[in-house]
Structure 1
Amino acid sequence: MNRFLKYSNKNYSPLNQNPQHKFAQNHALCIYNSDAVYSFIPKNACSTLRTTVAYANGCIRDKSEFNWIHNNNHTFVATLPELVKAKYTFTVLRCPFSRLVSVYLDKIVGRDLDAWRYVDVHNRNIGVEDITFDFFVRSMEKPGVRNSNIHWRPQVDFLVYEEYDDYFALEDFSRAVKTLKERIGIDVIDARSLTNHGRDGFDLVSGEDFSMVKPFDLLKNKMNGALPDLKSLYNEELVEIVSRVFRSDIDLYLSKFGADGLMYA
């Protein structure tokens, strides 16, 4: 079966100078014993799967060494022959609405380094405390902001192939665990408890509109064990913006999984 590269023919420049292809290739990781390629997309269980890949490739002994992955994002990047000759390919997609909330609560509210990079993208004309979820979503209408960081960049940009053997939905991740064991014999190492990026263990607050709440107030609630329910950060206007700006991601998700996993169909 021929594997067609998604962005190779978007321009006729040398492939190693094609920016769309190079970006996608840099997020395609080899699992060597399986001749498999995994395209990782930040905020889509990528820490769990990069830890799994590192273990499968013999570079870490168990999940206690998971921090190794953060300095080795490019260690297993597939070459052109490895991309073309891969026997199995897969990726994980996520509901674009929940992905955007997740990155906001993790990176912006959590005052991660990415929050300060976001401020830099705005030429430091804003402070971290100005970045409400409403402001964050509206800023995604600007391509320079939307494409400035891998954690909120559109998911389609990370896909190096036109088609993958398997697409997994984060909302049904147990299917990925089962299928990867059956297809290529790897055991997925769950790193969620180590990264603390998820919402497990938090009380989820609903029934309020959190879209204009200041990040520091959300952080105080988070430190007290409470997070807004995902839908509590959206209103009708913000749903419309995400639906329009991330239309390619939504269309891809719908084509692979249908509407059940989307927050807003």
Structure 2
Amino acid sequence: MSLFKYSSGSQLSLPKNDQHQFAMQHAMTLFHANAIYSFIPKNGCSTMRLSVAVANGCIDGIEQGHWIHNNNGTFMPSLAEAVRANYKFVVLRCPFRRLASVFLDKFVAKEINAWMYRDVLNRNIELDDLTFESFVLSLQKKDILNSDIHWCQQSDFLLYKEYSDYFSLENFSKAMSTLKEKISLDVIDARPLTMHGIDGYELLDDKDYSQMNAFDISILKRQGKCPSPASLYTPKLIEVVKRVYAKDFTLYKKRCDARDLLF
């Protein structure tokens, strides 16, 4: 039985197998432990990429943390390293929370990913006017769903058919203790560096925020407030996300605690 998830799915040479190469490009080698980490954007990956960089001896700590943003491919494994790895792990996330995080971070702050999204839509939208509802509904089109690594399906990033451990961001303390115990990895929290999370905000649950535009949410965030992930969803949007990310929900329920899903 093949070790890799995508290697046998194409008769092309492996370097030309796009699915396999995509997964390889999002894998990192931990040299001291002969381990492979598959990183998925918006799944605590800045914290884990920082931790890998420190463990591999390339930086001293969070003070040099911005180094990670230009070095995603630095620790990409060779085929031999990927085959011989003794330990493989990945961090999954509730698909509902991941999408909310994308919108509240990338779109509200109008980062480059948001501008690229606008280009995919032929610049037919203004980012300030974009709502979470319109963003989610647009993901029903495959070209939009697959246009950015921050919201494409988590299952696309899996290099292996089976990992030694599947962790969830919702229960990240378990990942930290297990990685320390099994491969002596110290997990370093990168949130003070990236400021991508909503931990420091007063989370609002007082009404439906699915149709509040990104500009108005940015005003709230300047006031130290932010819509909670749950407040962005309507029953309609819940069903759309369940359908669009069906494979991710199946993966999460199989490998993590389904009770940690937002809905």
When the two structures are superposed, what TM-score results if normalisation uses the length of structure 2?
A: 0.98
Mapping for residues 1-265 of structure 1, pairs under 5 Å: 4-264=3-263
Cα shift at 1:201:
1.4
* Structure 1 residues without counterparts, runs of 5 or longer: none
Say if 2:129 and 2:215, in contact at 8 Å, map to a contact too. Answer: no
4+ long deviations beyond 4 Å = none
* SS across alignment from 1:41: coil
Of residues 91-100 and 129-138 in structure 1, the stretch that sits farther from structure 2 once superposed is 129-138
* SS across alignment from 1:260: helix
Distance 1:68 1:94 in 2: 25
* Partner amino acid, structure 2, of 1:143: K
* Structure 2 residues without counterparts, runs of 5 or longer: none
Cα shift at 1:57:
0.5
Cα shift at 1:3:
6.7
* SS across alignment from 2:260: coil
Say if 1:8 and 1:18, in contact at 8 Å, map to a contact too. Answer: yes
Distance 1:262 1:176 in 2: 17
* SS across alignment from 1:129: helix
Say if 1:93 and 1:170, in contact at 8 Å, map to a contact too. Answer: yes
Distance 2:36 2:172 in 1: 18
Distance 1:200 1:138 in 2: 26
Please give the per-residue CA displacement for 1:189-235, whole angstroms capped at 9, x wherever unaligned. Answer: 11112111111110011020111111100000011100011111000
* SS across alignment from 1:9: helix
Say if 2:29 and 2:75, in contact at 8 Å, map to a contact too. Answer: yes
Say if 1:39 and 1:160, in contact at 8 Å, map to a contact too. Answer: yes
* Partner amino acid, structure 1, of 2:124: N
Distance 1:18 1:131 in 2: 35
Cα shift at 1:129:
2.2
Cα shift at 1:131:
1.6
* Partner amino acid, structure 1, of 2:9: K
Say if 2:2 and 2:8, in contact at 8 Å, map to a contact too. Answer: no
* Partner amino acid, structure 1, of 2:31: Y
* SS across alignment from 1:38: strand
* SS across alignment from 2:189: coil
Please give the per-residue CA displacement for 1:32-70, whole angstroms capped at 9, x wherever unaligned. Answer: 111000000000010000000000110001111110000
* Partner amino acid, structure 2, of 1:171: E
Say if 1:3 and 1:84, in contact at 8 Å, map to a contact too. Answer: no
* Partner amino acid, structure 2, of 1:151: H
Please give the per-residue CA displacement for 1:98-153, whole angstroms capped at 9, x wherever unaligned. Answer: 00000100000111111101101111111112321000000110110011000001
Say if 2:118 and 2:127, in contact at 8 Å, map to a contact too. Answer: yes
